[in-house]
Every structure is written in C-alpha cells, then in structure tokens.
C-alpha cells in the first residue's frame, strides 16, 4: 500500500483536485506507454508540461524515484536497465486512485500517446495469406497466426476489462507478493521476490478457472437436465461467425441438447463455457486486455493453452487456463503421457515452434514429426514472421529479433 500512501502525500501538496487529476492521468498515460512499448527507450523521459510543472514538489519527485525514475541532466527518465515491476504496481495504484477520487467513469485505461510522443496510428495488422502450399499443418499455422489479430481490437479489449474484477485481483496480487516476501525472509522457502505481473497473472488465472469460465463435457438435457449422448456435429451460421454445433440426445427422456463451439472471443465473454479451445481463446483475450504479451499455443495432439511473456526473466511462461497451472511445461509429456509432435505458439506479431519447451527427448520427438519437413516448417515460420514484422516499427523488429534468438537458444536445451 506504500504507493497509495505516497500518492496521498502528493495530493496533499498539490491541493487543487482538478490539477491532481490531470497529474494522475498524464503519469498513467506515460506509464502505460512505457509498459506497452518496453523496446522504445527514447520515449521514457518526462516531457509533459503538466508533469514538469510539478517536479519541484518534493513529494511528487520522490514518488517518481520510488517507482524507478532517475534524474539525468535535470531530466526524469525511466532507465532501460530498470525493472518494470514497480512501474506495473504504480500503474495499478494510479488506476485505483483515479477510481477512488474521481469515480468509476474515469477508471479507463489511458491508451493515448503521451503529449511528447509523435503521433503514430495504431497498427492495423494485415493478415499473412502468403503460403503457397497444400500442407494442412502449415495452412493451420497461418490461420492461427492471422486469428491473433482479432485480440488487438481496442473496443473488444475494453469489453473484456469490464468483466474482470481488476481492483480485487490487484489487491490480492499485492497480498500474494507480500506473502512470498514473508516466506523468503522467514526461511520457509528459497527464491526471489515475486513480480507484480506474475502475481496478478496468478490471480487472474485462479479467478478465470474457478469463477468465470465453466467446463463443458456433455451438455445436460434441455428438458430434464439429465445426461446426454453425442449424436452428430452440424454447422451453424450466426451474425458474427460460422461455427460447429454438437448435437446430443438425452439417455432418459429422449430430449435434445446442443453445444455450439463458438470461435468469437466476444461471444465467449457472454457464454463463459466450453472446452480447452474456448478456455484458451477467452483467456488470451483477457490477458491481452491487461497488457500481457500473450501467445495462443496449439498442440496437434488435441490441446491448446497460452504463454505469457515475463519481462523480469525475459522468458515465455506456460499458462494453462483449463488446469489453472502456471509454468509447468512438461506436465503434458511427463504427467499426461502425451506424445507431442508439433506445438506452435502464435502472438500478435510473432510465432515460434515451441515443441521443445514441452518435451524432454528431442530425438524421439523428431522421429514422430512427419506432417511436414523441418525445412518447410522453418521456412513457413520465417516467411509468416517476416510478413508481420514488416508492419512493425524498426525498434519493435529489433527487440523481437533479439528475443526470438534468446528463446531459440533456450529451446535447444533438453529438459
């Protein structure tokens, strides 16, 4: 709660409620921009006139230093070497403060550019329909990669945020961090302090599994509510999509039941039910809505899950919303006994063959991989990646290239 106490001190010194609101909004806007664009080091300096005018307020300058800003040649800058963890905590504190002081109608994520940043229109990604092949696996990867574009719709992300009890999850995340710190200090566990990002992700994961989404194996009978048996699958057209519908017949009264397999995350926010495909689909949207760099992970042996990038460890973390599990990538091959062959991860601006993160005998896995040659698979991944990267800023391309290289090195290691 130290962030809130420090913000209260700033409020006491500023005194003008309208001016304080403007300060909160401007600072939140800058912090959001830094967190959304961690690769852009040139836009981490406080240049907003609103914020510069209050730098002579000791309480405000102390708060900036507390959350990671440093003074360099009379400028306040957030160094590229600085961890983003405190900035994430500050983001949550600012949002709560705005909500508390000025009402829930103000509690929207400030997505605009800070005043000093040259305006750039938000990238509208173009689908990459470039593969000249009949190979079904490669075409599936291309489709999955293109599907990730839908999660970048700002109106859809705002709709998703409205479903998340964010303040509650943020407070629970802070409690989780403090409990971790306590256990480390008392010697109950060994390790490092938990970052705010990971703590919040864990709370989001638990809430999603236990309170928001529901697993459907076989739907209950519409008439008597008893168990049903699968009959067949048909196709259904709605206003927004074409999807499969599983038809079932009641084993007791002979009544019918349907289970539509919706693909639209917008629809899933309403229905909140399904199997692993629907779970991963909706959870990917919620993670993107909270600013996590998120992947949808496709396993050709019939399972899907997610990955979230952790900026503290510079690595992708396995997240399975169906199981409520974080960072246990070998659970499928070790625990479930799955014979994995191809595991492909796609995000809004990158994709990767991550099979090796989820397996422990690479030679055995290679013997099972026969759907496409390794050279064709690598070529397709590189072509799709190049098409999407051509739509990015040079800074983002450089960042992604370095990140992909680090990941490839890690994937080469046998688990």
Catalytic residues: 276, 303, 320
CA distance 202 to 320: 11
Q: How far is CA 241 from CA 127, 170, 237, 245, 263, in A?
A: 18, 34, 6, 12, 8
Any idea what DSSP says for residue 357? Answer: G
Q: What is the Cα–Cα distance from 78 to 35, expressed in whole angstroms? A: 11
Q: Is 327 left (phi over 0), alpha (psi -120 to 50) or beta?
A: left
Half-sphere exposure of 117 (CA within 13 A, CB side): 22
Pairing of the two strands 273-274 and 214-215: parallel
- DSSP class of residue 38 equals T
Polymer length in residues for the chain: 415
The DSSP letter of residue 239 is S
**Is residue 221 classed as helix, strand or coil in its secondary structure?**
coil
The closest of 271, 265, 267, 247 to 257, measured between CA atoms, is 247
- Directed axis angle between helix 136-147 and helix 374-389, to 10°? 20
CB 23 within 8 A of CB 49: no
Q: Is 69 helix (H, G, I), strand (E, B) or coil?
A: coil
3-state SS assignment for residue 238: coil
d(CA 386, CA 131): 12
**Quick check: 269 and 160 in contact, CB under 8 A?**
yes
Q: What are phi and psi of 184, to 5 degrees?
A: -65, -45
User: Any idea what the Cα angle at residue 290 is, between residues 19 and 111, rounded to 5°?
Assistant: 40
């Amino acid at each position: 709660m130290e962030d809130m106490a420090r913000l209260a001190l700033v409020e006491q010194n500023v005194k003008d409620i309208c001016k304080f609101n403007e300060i909160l909004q401007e600072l939140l806007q800058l912090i959001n921009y830094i967190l959304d664009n961690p690769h852009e080091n040139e836009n981490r300096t406080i240049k907003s006139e609103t914020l510069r005018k209050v730098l002579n307020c000791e309480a405000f300058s102390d708060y900036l230093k507390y959350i990671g800003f440093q003074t360099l040649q009379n400028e306040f800058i957030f160094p590229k070497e600085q961890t983003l963890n405190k900035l994430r905590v500050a983001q949550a504190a600012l949002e709560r403060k705005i909500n508390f002081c000025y009402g829930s109608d103000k509690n929207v994520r400030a997505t605009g550019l800070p005043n000093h940043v040259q305006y750039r229109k938000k990238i509208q990604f173009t689908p990459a329909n470039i593969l000249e092949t009949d190979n079904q696996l490669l075409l599936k990867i291309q489709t999955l990669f293109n599907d990730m574009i839908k999660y970048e719709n700002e109106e859809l992300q705002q709709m998703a945020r409205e479903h998340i009890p964010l303040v509650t999850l943020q407070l629970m995340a802070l409690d989780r961090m403090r409990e971790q710190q306590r256990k480390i200090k008392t010697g109950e566990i060994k390790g490092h302090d938990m970052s705010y990002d990971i703590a919040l992700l864990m709370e989001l994961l638990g809430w999603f599994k236990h309170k928001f989404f529901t697993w459907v194996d076989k739907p209950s009978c519409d008439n008597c509510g008893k168990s049903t048996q699968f009959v067949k699958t048909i196709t259904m057209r709605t206003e927004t999509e074409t999807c499969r519908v599983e038809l079932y017949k009641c084993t007791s009264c002979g009544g019918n039941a349907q289970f539509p397999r919706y693909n639209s995350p917008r629809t899933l926010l309403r229905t909140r039910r399904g199997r692993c495909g629907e779970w991963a689909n909706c959870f990917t949207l919620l993670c993107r809505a909270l600013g996590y760099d998120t992947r949808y992970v496709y396993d050709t042996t019939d399972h899907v899950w997610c990955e979230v990038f952790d900026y503290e460890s510079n690595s992708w973390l396995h997240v399975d919303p169906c199981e409520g599990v974080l960072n246990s990538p070998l659970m499928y091959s070790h625990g479930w006994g799955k014979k994995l062959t191809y595991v492909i991860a796609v995000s809004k601006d990158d994709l990767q063959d991550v099979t090796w993160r989820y397996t422990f005998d690479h030679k055995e896995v290679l013997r099972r991989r026969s759907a496409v040659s390794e050279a064709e698979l690598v070529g397709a991944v590189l072509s799709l990646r190049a098409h999407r990267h051509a739509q990015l800023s040079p800074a983002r391309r450089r960042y992604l290239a370095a990140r992909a290289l680090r990941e490839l090195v890690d994937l080469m290691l046998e688990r």
